[in-house]
A and B are shown apart, each in its own frame.
Chain A
C-alpha cells in the first residue's frame, strides 16, 4: 500500500509541477518568465528585472513574431488592442471588446478565440483579462464578469456587475488578490454612482461592495450638499488598482464627479471622486482616502495607476505611493497612512489658486466651465490618462506620458444640469514622456512622442519602451531619454508593452492596431 501510495505521489508530482494553474502566491511574487496581471505585478511599476535586452545590445532588437487578430466583429472604437496581455506558462491572453484570445507567447500562434455575443454596451476599449487557477476573468462592454477556462476558452459563467441600461460600461482588467476578483465600473454620462466590488473566483457571487460616495453619516458624506447630489455623484473605478500584500490594502484611483462639468448642484469637495483610496482587500472597508482634485468640473478623474514602491523620502525610508494625475499634478503619499508628502505640477496648468496645507490643488472657480468658455490647461483629456505609467526603482524615476494640452470648457446645460452638462473643445493634443524624480517632482528629461497613445514599460536593462504617434516603437535609455532603437509597425501602439523570458530568450510584446508584435534579440532565431 505504501509503495503504491508513494508511486502515486511520484506519478502525480510532475503533473502538479507542470500544471498551468496560476496560484495566488505566484501573483505575489511573479517570475520573470511571466506577466500574470495587468501591470505585471501588484506594485503597478511595470518595471521588469529582465536585462538580456539592454542599452548595449538593444540596437539589434528585431521582430520575433507578429499575430494579427481577425474575426472580432464590430468592436467599435475599441477595435485596437488597448489591452495589456497577460502571459502565464507560455501563453498570452488578451482582449478587444467582446473578444478574448489565447496566443503562444513564443510563436504568436493562436490557441483559442472566445467571442462574447453582440451587445449594446460601451465598446470603447478593453484593457485585459485576469487569471487565477485555471480560470480567465474578463469584463464585458455590457458589464458582465465572465469566467473562461484558460485551456480552451470555454465560458464557465457570467455575472452582472453593473446595469448597462443605466449607461454603465465596463472595460478594465480585474485585479485578483487571494480569493478575491476585484471589479470596477465605468460610465459617467448619466450621473450614476461608482463602486468597487469583490467577487468570488469560483461562483462570481459578490463578496463586498464599496460605493465611491460615502453613505449618510460616514466621513466624506458632508462633502455633498444633499442625498440627491450624492446618489448621482459619479466617481467611476475604470482602471485596475494596485495592492500591497503586507498591508493587505488595495489602492484605487477614483473617477470624476457628476454632473461632469456643472458644479453648482454639488457644492463641496465631492468625496471620494478624483481621489486615491486604500481599501482593506478582505472587507472592502475604506482605510484612508486622499483627494487630488477637490470639486472637479473638468473631467479629470484620478484613475491613473497609483504606483507603489519603497524608498527614501526626506531621509526616511517609507512605503510610498505615487500618481501622475490627470489634473497635471504629481503626488507622493505614504501608502500606510495616506499621509501627503509631495505635490508638484508636471505640466503648466492654469486652473488653481495654489496648493493647500494638505497638498491639494485649490481649484480657481473662475476656471470652471462657462457659457462663453474658459481656456484651461489641461484639456478634459488630461495631463495624463489611462496610458500606463512606469517606475524604475533603481533610478528613482517615475515615467508618464504627459500632455501640455489646452481646451475651451463650455457649460451647456439648460435648466437642471445632468450628465456631462457641458463639453470642452480640444485645441491641441500633444504627448511627451516625462521622467519625474519622485523625491522632488523635478523633471529629469522629456521625450516628445507627437501625441498621447501608448503606455510605458521599463526594464533592468535600463530601457524604457514606448510608442509614438508616427507608428514607431521606441526603446529609450531610461536615464537620459535618448532613443536607442526604433522600428515601424502597422499602426500606433495603443497598449503598454510587456516583457517576459522563455527558454532563455527575452521578449518584448506590444499591441498596435489589431496586431501583437513581439521583439527579441536576433528576432525569431
Chain B
C-alpha cells in the first residue's frame, strides 16, 4: 500500500530530462526546475531512498509502528517466516500478494488469528488488532526496503591492496601527474563516504542522484576553456556551457561571455578527461587497489 516502485526505467527517467554528463550544469538546471516542487527542498542529510520515495508521491511508512511490529513479528512469526520475513519453513511474506493487499490487518488479521492448520500454521488468537496492524506495517516496510534501491546500503568496499594502489597511482595510472596525496588529496578519505570516494576517484563529479535531489555536494572541478576568435584574439575562462552551437564561459574578470562555435576554435581543458581515459583501462583489481590507497588518506 505504501511502498514505491523503482522500476528498471526509474533511474533513466530520473535523468532523461537532465543535461548530460556535465553534472554541474545539470545541477544548475535542476535547481531551476520545479519537477515536483520538492526537489530543491529535499533535506541534505536525508537518506536518498526516502527523498526519492517522497518525490514519487508515496505514502511514507510509519517507522515507529513498523518497529513495534518487528518486535512482535520476530518472536511470534520469525521462526517460520524468518526474522526479516523473507521466508524459512513458512512462505516469504515480503513479496506475498496477500500481505501486499493488506491494510492494517484486514487481510492478514483473520489468517494470523485463525492460523492455517492445513498448512501447519497455528492460530495467534491473543494478538490484538493494534498488534496485527503493526505487524502489517512492519511487513510493508520490508517490501519498501526491497523495492527502494536508493535506500540500499553499499558497504565493505575496501578489499584492495593499498601498496599496489600507490604503485598504480604513481605509475600506470599517471594520477600523480595531476594530484598530490599531501596536497589536493590530503585527508580525502575523511571528506567522503567510501562509495562517494570510489565514484569521485573514477569520475570526479557529484552523483546524479545528489544532483537530482538538489543536494549541496562538492562540485566538479572547474573546466577551463580558451576560445580563439576569428581575429586571432584568445579569451580564457571557466567553461559554463558547451554544445554543438555555442560555447560560453565566465572570463577572468567574472563576466559571462558566449560565442557561436562556427566562428571560433575551442580548447577545453576538462579535468575529467584523464579520468574518462582511465575508465576503459582499469581492471577491477586496480580500481579496488587505488581505492584502498585513497582510503589511507584519512
Contact = CB atoms under 8 A, between A and B. Distances in A.
Contacts of B18: 429, 451, 469
B284 A187 contact: no
Nearest to B145: A419
Of the listed residues B1, B198, B243, the one surrounded by the most CB atoms of chain A closer than 10 A to its CB is B243
Interface of B: 1, 3-22, 35-36, 55-59, 82, 84, 86-87, 92, 94-95, 97, 100-101, 143, 146-150, 152-160, 195, 198-199, 202-203, 205, 207-208, 241, 243-246, 276, 279-280, 282, 284, 287-288
Given A189-B4, A189-B146, A451-B20, 18 more contacts: A76-B57, A77-B55, A122-B4, A122-B56, A124-B7, A232-B95, A236-B8, A370-B284, A372-B159, A381-B11, A408-B199, A410-B195, A412-B153, A419-B149, A425-B199, A429-B20, A452-B16, A492-B19
A205 interface: no
A260 interface: yes
Given A189-B149, A406-B279, A425-B207, A165 B100 contact: yes
B21 A165 contact: no
A167 B157 CA distance: 31
Interface of A: 74, 76-80, 82, 120-125, 163, 165-167, 169, 171, 186-192, 232, 236, 238, 255-256, 260, 299, 301, 348, 350, 366-367, 370-375, 377, 380-382, 385-386, 406, 408, 410, 412, 415-416, 418-420, 422-423, 425-431, 448, 450-453, 468-470, 472, 474, 483, 486, 491-492, 494, 513
A416 B245 CA distance: 51
A4 B20 CA distance: 68
Contact of B5 (A78, A189, A408, A486): A189
B8 to A, nearest CB: 5
Given A186-B9, A375-B282, A494 B17 contact: yes
B152 A422 contact: yes
A125 B13 contact: yes
A410 B146 contact: no
B19 A190 contact: no
A231 to B, nearest CB: 10
Contacts of B94: 190, 418
A372 B156 contact: yes
Contacts of A76: 36, 55-57
B13 A124 contact: yes
Contact of B208 (A256, A429, A452): A429
Contacts, number: 233
Contacts of A120: 1, 57-59
Given A124-B7, A422-B152, A483 B244 contact: yes
B-side interface mostly: loop
8 contacts: A80-B16, A189-B4, A189-B148, A260-B8, A371-B155, A375-B279, A380-B11, A452-B12
A386 B12 contact: yes
Contacts of A422: 149, 152
A377 B284 CA distance: 12
A238 B243 contact: no
B257 to A, nearest CB: 17
Contacts of B100: 165-167, 190
A76 B153 CA distance: 25
Nearest to B283: A375
Contacts of A451: 15, 18-21
A395 B244 CA distance: 25
Contacts of A492: 17, 19
Nearest to A405: B21
Contacts of B1: 120, 165
B12 A423 contact: no
B208 A426 contact: yes
B97 A166 contact: yes
A155 B57 CA distance: 25
Nearest to B246: A470
Contacts of A77: 10, 13-14, 35-36, 55-56
